[in-house]
Structure 1
Amino acid sequence: MILRIRSRDGMERVAVPDPSTATVATLCSLIESHLGVPATVQTLSLDHNLLLPSKAQSPALDPATPLSSLPIGHGSIVYLSYPADLRRAAAAPTPPPFTPAGSFGRHKMTIDDLIARQVRVARQESPHCDAASFDRDAAHAFQLYVADTLAFAVKRAGFLYGHVDQASHSVAIDFVYEPPQQGSEDAAALFRDPDEEALVEAIAAGLGMRRVGFIFTQAVGRKAGTAEYTMSGREVLQAAEMQAEGGIPEWVTAVVKLDVAEDGAADVHFEAFQMSDICVRLFKEGWFVTEFGEDDDPRVSRMKKDVVVGGKDTREVDNDFFLVPVKISDHQGPLSSSFPIENRITRVTLKALKNHLDRTKHLPFVRRISDFHLLLLLARFLDVNADVPTLAECVQKQSSVPEGYQLLIESMAAAS
């Protein structure tokens, strides 16, 4: 029986020769001989919370307990904790087979082998972005659609736009752009439209904003074992791709998920991360396996070549090694998010513009158009190089909209 041993150094494997007679103490001895952690300092548990800072809710396994009495089998995960200041001893090397003198029978190491041995994957302790703040209306509009219309049955994704505060190393997210896409339980396939994204960038520039991150939801029906991993291999790959494209140190990835309590109550949670520097580097250099099979373990990312994790060569990296948590908060930004949002099930037309203007008659005109999604609809009919920047600047400064633009927008609405 092979057991997967998960510690702060990642996922490793230990073979138990005779599980019918082995005890937890036997497993401790095998871990000591194979992984270099003394049995006297090991704490083993079947609860993943053992690896969190607080271990109060993680009962340790009794060394005298037979493995056959535990709810484990071939491939099960056992969690291992040991003192943070412990330096693991190197496992005893396997004696090399006898080979004749000279080059005959010897393995000739290639340049790729040498490079692979130098690539080490370890946890990144500090993010480049200390905090991410979400506009409440934008966050609510995104999660409400996923919860009420999609019922968290499929994934949904979008790009985050806002400001970067260089002094505090933080980002403020003020709107979410949702590109054309097709979601499933395990993936959100983006059908990116360069023309539409050019309009988005023009609006953002006029508002004094830029793209600062990526957001996606997790479906409730994704692969079993959801509680044991934060991101799947697919999600890590997509997040690394977006961060590499984003090109700013403060880029953040937000994850939205539905947590269901034992009493059936459900809460929507937002979490923010950065992909570690080594993760983005490995993506840029093409180390990730980009094809996924039905039987692949979603908890790990597969590499095309060996990397070093916890002192061992492996081609499977625990996804948690690539995640750097970012503090998250909220704020009330300058834009509203009440206008129908692009690329959803219901197509946005000029009729929506008329309804919106009728509903907001009591507001100054600049406030009535202070919505990114409304500006995106208008941008499809206006000059992206002249009209769009002018309107966006009015919204940014909350200044009066020139009368000619007011008449144009109202006539567009009236013609719907």
Structure 2
Amino acid sequence: MMIRIRSRDGLERVSVDNPAATVAELKFAIESQLRVPVHAQILSTNQNLLLAKAPGDLNKFTDMLDPNARVSALGISHGSIVFLAYEGERTVAGPAFHPSGSFGKKMTMDDLIAKQMRITRQENPHCELVSFDRDAANAFQHYVNESLAFAVKRGGFMYGTVSEEGKVEVDFIYEPPQQGTEDNLILLRDPEEEKFVEAIALGLQMRKVGFIFTQTISQDKKDYTMSNAEVLQAVELHAEGDLKEWVTAVVKLEVNEDGGADVHFEAFQMSDMCVRLFKEGWFETEVKGEIDPKLSRMKKDVVVGGKDVTSVDNDFFLVVVKIFDHQGPLATTFPVENRRIPVSPGALRSHLDRSRNLPFVKRISDFHLLLFLSKYLDVNSDVPALSGCVRAQATVPEGYQLLIESMASAC
């Protein structure tokens, strides 16, 4: 039988005549055919053996320590891979054994890791669940459904809280300047406006917790959960922050049993491997039209299902997150920023007139209203202070009330 041996030198093969071979016989075959002395060999079926750096770490790999154990009892059969670590130097005979193509060249640890970048599915997300504020979610999907008819893409950043158990609550959605088409979503991010958003979130004791975007009607018939362009955009935004519970949400239309269309929300986390590959520059970032959109292209080979490939099914990078809903502390009745119809100068007056019977703090408990007001306030002091009143539902200082009411009267 043929057994593949992967070491720091790459992938090689040894032949073992006895189908009932023991670990000792396999080691003698390695010594004979690969010229690695038996006493120097450490074997394991665990690939992490090759990543062990300290000498003491090698002692942890004991699954093939018994020389009398039959390799078949360890799950090793014809074509199986066994990992080999050894001390000393040797020259590998023959370029056929070298993925680099250089005769006698030793592989570095970086080369070895590159050859062993294995893409597997991540079973569990870091967040227990994501819960959407009903009003915030409805305001987002209603605009996409009624005004854009799901014909062009739309996106936003989700803000809220993360519990110690990993529960993510989304309480408002900020929609940055953007340009959406049938196939692409370009975020025209405004650093100054985002400073105001972050100041509001600070006062509300919230933070950015994820990214939400829509898929268009034309994508409904495509054979993917997320396209390669969507994966790239989602993982870039995920990698931008330091939140392990970061959530990516997808909103789309789906045909129901009656032939009608329902708005459907799905939530995912980009897998740890996906984020790592992006940060280390493995992804081909130029997505060309001829590439199947359900596949992400890599710059170098990765291992999927035991095969070296340069294209990976996008679903390998997605970890499903459970969705719930809740009624959060904020209203969503003020016009939303950066949409096709700009927020009119009279929007503030109309909003305050409609809510005149409520306490003043209730009248301004709307993220989109706070963002409108923040552009006339000091981002470092006034914005967090006013947002803090909203968070605590405390009395708004008279100075802020007079300022806001005078702004409304001037419109």
Task: Tell whether the structures are fold-level matches, with TM greater than 0.5.
Answer: yes
- Per-residue CA deviations over 1:243-280 (Å, capped at 9, x if unaligned) read 11121111111111100236431100111110000000
- Offset at residue 169 of structure 1 (A): 1.1
> Aligned equivalents of 2:312 and 2:276: distance in 1?
14
| 1:221 alignment partner, SS class | helix
Distance 1:301 1:174, change over 3 A: same
1:104-119 to 2 correspondences below 5 Å: 107-108=101-102, 111=108, 113-119=111-117
1:105 and 1:277 mapped to 2: Cα distance?
31
Q: 1:185 to 1:361 in 2, by over 3 A?
A: same
Partner of 2:372: 377
Match of 2:304 in 1: 309
Q: 2:362 aligns with which of 364, 367, 370?
A: 367
Matches within 5 A, 1:155-174: 155-166=153-164, 168-174=165-171
| Counterpart position of 2:144 | 146
Cα offset, 1:385, TM superposition:
1.4
CA contact (8 A) 1:213 1:246 kept: no
Tell me the SS of whatever aligns to 1:407: helix
Greater CA deviation, 308-317 or 293-302?
293-302
**1:358 corresponds to which letter in structure 2?**
D
1:395 aligned residue (390, 393, 405): 390
Structure 1 CA distance for aligned equivalents of residues 309 and 288 of structure 2: 19
DSSP-derived class of the 1:185 partner? coil
The correspondence of residues 240-389 of structure 1 with structure 2, limited to 5 A, is 240-261=235-256, 263-389=258-384
Q: Is 1:235 paired with 2:233?
A: no
**TM-score normalised according to structure 2 size:** 0.74
Q: Residues 365-401 of structure 1: CA distance to partner in whole angstroms, max 9, x if unpaired? A: 1001000000000000111112111110110000111
Question: What's 2:175 paired with?
Answer: 178
Gap change, CA 1:139 and 1:118, over 3 Å in 2: same
**8 Å Cα contact 1:135/1:175 also seen in 2:** yes
Q: Secondary structure at the match of 2:153?
A: coil
Q: Deviations over 1:150-206 (max 9, x none)?
A: 00001101000000101x211110000000000112221001111000000000000
Q: What count of residue pairs does the alignment treat as equivalent?
A: 320
Decide which of 184, 188, 194 is 2:185's aligned counterpart: 188
Q: How many Å apart are 1:113 and its aligned residue?
A: 4.5
Task: State the distance in 2 between where 1:87 and 1:298 align.
Answer: 37
Deviates more, 1:365-374 or 1:342-351: 342-351
Read off the aligned partner of 2:175 and give its amino acid letter. Answer: E
For 1:205, the equivalent position in structure 2 comes to: 202
In the TM superposition, what is the alpha-carbon distance from 1:103 to its structure 2 partner? 6.5
- In 1, Cα distance between the equivalents of 2:124 and 2:246? 14
Q: Which amino acid aligns with 2:294?
A: R
Mapped to 2, the partners of 1:87 and 1:219 lie a distance apart of 48
1:217 alignment counterpart = 214
Counting aligned pairs with the same residue, the percent is: 64
Label 1:262 to 1:233 Cα distance change in 2 as closer, same or farther (>3 A). Answer: same
The aligned residue for residue 135 of structure 1 is: 133
The question of whether the paired residues in 2 share the 8 Å contact of 1:350 and 1:412 is answered with no
CA RMSD of aligned residues (A): 2.2
1:123 partner amino acid = R
Structure number, greater radius of gyration: 2
Using the alignment, how far apart are the partners of 1:393 and 1:279 within structure 2? 37
Counterpart CA distance in 2 for 1:367 and 1:150 is 31
Distance 1:387 1:316, change over 3 A: same
Alpha-carbon distance, 1:87 to partner = 10
Q: 1:364 to 1:114 in 2, by over 3 A?
A: same
2:124 is aligned to: 126
- Distance change (3 Å), C-alpha of 1:90 and 1:217: farther
Q: Deviations over 1:49-96 (max 9, x none)?
A: xxxxxxxxxxxxxxxxxxxxxxxxxxxxxxxxxxxxx9997499xxxx
Q: Residues 297 and 386 of structure 1: is their aligned pair in 2 closer, same or farther, counting only changes over 3 Å?
A: same
Q: Cα offset for 1:355?
A: 0.7
Which residue identity lines up with residue 269 of structure 1 in the other structure? H
Partner Cα distance (2:96, 2:229) in 1: 43
Partner of 1:54: none
Cα distance in 2 for residues equivalent to 1:372 and 1:245: 23
Distance 1:357 1:314, change over 3 A: same
| Structure 1 residue 341 displacement after superposition | 0.4
Q: 1:204 to 1:87 in 2, by over 3 A?
A: farther
Q: Which residue of 1 aligns with 2:87?
A: none
Residues 128, 396 of structure 1: alpha-carbon distance in 2 compared, 3 angstrom cutoff: same
Quote the Cα distance in structure 1 between the aligned partners of 2:268 and 2:359: 38
For the residue of structure 1 that corresponds to 2:273, the secondary structure is helix
Question: Match of 1:410, SS?
Answer: helix
1:392 is paired with a residue whose SS is: helix
Question: Can you list the C-alpha shifts for 1:120-156, whole angstroms capped at 9, x where unaligned?
Answer: 1000011100100000000000000000000000110
- Paired amino acid for 1:368: R
Cα distance change of structure 1 residues 87 and 377 upon mapping to structure 2, 3 Å threshold:
farther
Displacement after TM superposition at 1:349 (Å)? 3.4
